[in-house]
Amino acid sequence: MEASDNPFGHRLSRRWVLGTAALGGFGLAACGSNDQSSSSRPAPASDDSEDPKDIAADAYTFGYPLVLMDATRIAAGAPNQFANAVALPDPDERLVVRLNLDTLYSQAWLALAAEPLVLQVPAVEPDRYWLMQLLDAWSNTRHNPSSVHAQVRPGVTTPPYTYLVTGPQWQGEVPEGMTQLAMPTETAWILGRIEVKDSHDVAKVLGLQNELKLVPLSAWLRGETASTGRPYAPTPGAIPPPKQVAALDGPDFFDRMCALMAANPPAAEDAPALRRFATLGIAPGATVDLAITDVLDAGVAQAKTRIPEYDDPGTKDENGWVVATDLGAYGTNYALRARTAMQGLGANLAEDAIYPTIYAKADSNGKPLRYRMRFPAGRLPPVDAFWSLTAYDTDNYLVPNTAGIYAIGHEIPVVPGADGSVDLAVQCADPGSAVPRGNWLPIPASGQFSLSLRLYEPRPEAIDGTWQIPALTQVT
């Protein structure tokens, strides 16, 4: 079997890095959104390795997103309630890597076993982008209503937009005026984003966050429509969910995975993989046999190496930029699903956002380097919402600089030249008055740095490669 056809991705080559805001509980990166075919790989073939350690490694890869999602849910606190980010980040914020300065997040973990929840998005100005991404317990994006595609039922033309988020066992009637968003698992995650135009705009976004409603259906029908969100505040000293999961040994991980699969069953297309895992006693609701602890531990160790090293054949290289357009819904591509969860849980579908990223050196033997990017006239990033370019230091944090410029293109618009082209100066030192403020992105004086170009609601030509990102060119 070719590595690219193996859903567990036993392929170790170029290390892939997700160029999006890693969530860490908030953070990160679907049209009707149940179609996962573009990312699917065939289920395991009968000639896959039957070595128990290989099976355990594949089972870990399969279950890692489910276990990580659950750890993230527990860390978030009370279910069925929005937690809202209340401020834009600055370089002193070091809890989460690769933060963006474009949106404020509102997240909520849903418990759908008892009854559906009503999600209502208030009226938002037509020129303000918003997205309500809904993920299932396996980290697949299932629905993505947004300011560009509200995805409401016929006849609903004006906000507020009211959705009914239902679990897999619900069989009731959708109330008039609501649009059903059916989820295949009883646990679901809403990752809401609302555009922030600049630091002075934060107060308006906080007001919109307070108008978001998330209410049990029974309470809504009784007229109890008030919904109180809370400011998001990470618990000081808390162990991040990825570290919690990484610390689990084989028996603990697989027991947790088995329990979670009973509550959030795998998809029908996962049946071949589940039959293989069952040979080790790994199945929904099962308890693993401690007599094979060594096998399970060895499989976990093997998978921890394989997952981050998986080289996705769907990732493109455009003039040195790494572009991933097959994230967000994974079908049976278990390796891609696990790698994305490990490096950026909550990644968007490409139709909502893509995050091309490039890595480079900021200096040569201690001498700062200067770079340029040039967009020809009419060739700025093609989007239906907006775009931004952000710089990060070697540790993936915002770059401190006296000018206070951390991203350009959105809050700080770029300025075209006389011929309509846009030239960007990417360098540590202030390039002077000849370069408009919006065309200078500061980078560190030394070490490695990276750039992420965020395209919100990218047009098809940005996704299929018809439009390509200009090269980052070093200048003398």
Please state the separation of Cα 302 from the chain's center in Å. Answer: 25
pLDDT, average across residues 445-469: 97
pTM of the full predicted structure? Answer: 0.89
Please state the separation of Cα 270 from the chain's center in Å. Answer: 23
Asked if pLDDT for residue 457 goes beyond 70, the answer is yes
pLDDT, average across residues 349-355: 97
pLDDT, average across residues 363-389: 97
| Per-residue confidence band for 235, with pLDDT thresholds at 50, 70 and 90 | confident
Could you tell me which residues are beta bridge partners of residue 99? none
Sign of CA dihedral 94, 95, 98, 102: negative
Q: For residue 8, what pLDDT is reported? A: 59
Asked if pLDDT for residue 275 goes beyond 50, the answer is yes
Distance, CA of 19 to CA of 420 (rounded, Å): 29
Q: For residue 7, what pLDDT is reported? A: 58
Burial label for 394, CB within 10 Å (0-12, 13-18, 19+), is middle
Q: H helices within 229-348, ranges in order?
A: 241-246, 250-263, 271-278, 293-309, 334-344
55-74: buried (b, 16+ CB within 10 Å) or exposed (e) per residue? bbbbbbbbbbbbbbbbbbbe
Phi, psi for residue 209 in degrees, rounded to 5: -55, -40
Model pLDDT for residues 6-63, shown as the tens digit of each residue: 455 543 333 444 544 444 344 333 233 333 333 333 333 334 789 999 999 999 999 9
Residue 218's CB: how many other CB atoms inside 10 A? 12
Asked if pLDDT for residue 127 goes beyond 50, the answer is yes
Residue 175's CB: how many other CB atoms inside 10 A? 14
Distance, CA of 444 to CA of 396 (rounded, Å): 11
Beta strands at 473-475 and 448-458: parallel, antiparallel or unpaired: unpaired
Model pLDDT for residues 311-345, shown as the tens digit of each residue: 999 899 999 999 999 999 999 999 999 999 998 89
Mean residue pLDDT across the chain: 90
Q: Which amino acid would we find at residue 352?
A: D
Phi, psi for residue 346 in degrees, rounded to 5: 95, 20
Q: For residue 25, what pLDDT is reported? A: 40
Distance, CA of 168 to CA of 183 (rounded, Å): 6
Distance, CA of 139 to CA of 257 (rounded, Å): 14
Question: For tokens 């259906």, what's the residue?
Answer: 217
Asked if pLDDT for residue 109 goes beyond 60, the answer is yes
Q: With the CA atoms of 143, 148, 154 and 159 taken in that order, what torsion angle do they form, in degrees rounded to the nearest 10?
A: 100
Asked if pLDDT for residue 376 goes beyond 90, the answer is yes
Report the largest interatomic distance among the alpha carbons of the chain, rounded to a whole angstrom. Answer: 74
Model pLDDT for residues 277-308, shown as the tens digit of each residue: 999 999 999 999 999 999 999 999 999 999 99
- Cβ 38 vs Cβ 333: under 8 Å: no
Could you tell me which residue, 7 or 427, shows the higher pLDDT? 427
Query: Which residues, other chains included, contact 154 with Cβ-Cβ below 8 Å and sequence gap of 6+?
Result: none
